[in-house]
Structure 1
Amino acid sequence: MLKLQTPVDCGKSRIQISYKDRILIIGSCFADNIGGKMSALGFDVCVNPFGTLYNPQSIAGAIRRLR
């Protein structure tokens, strides 16, 4: 049978997010969807304050403007 997936074991992250954290999510429609889910779950999340961005140069520019 043809394998269409590659299992990847990333291990457990050292970073843990809690409801007390403020979270910024920038990126494509994936970021919009994840940010919406996190907001619905009660996280303090800011999603794409400059609109949906699709490339690293635009994302870097948005981060510079946030400083």
Structure 2
Amino acid sequence: MADIDAARKTFEKFDRDGDGFVTAVEFQQAMVELGDRHYTVGLAEAILKTRDANADGVLSFDEFFQRAKEV
């Protein structure tokens, strides 16, 4: 249960507007805040695409958590 709680807290840091989804812009902004100043929206889009199971252009918590379990 701790794993899902930690994943939820991390997801919430990326989901800046609290709508339950992470956009490429939100992902990029979070990565910049984490110290990667060269992280572009284009890179974020490419990474989200690899994890976006339903191809809706955003990352849901379920998609985020599924990927976290694989790593």
TM-score range for the pair, normalised by the shorter chain length: 0.3 to 0.5
Larger Rg over CA atoms: 1
> Which structure features the higher share of strand residues?
1
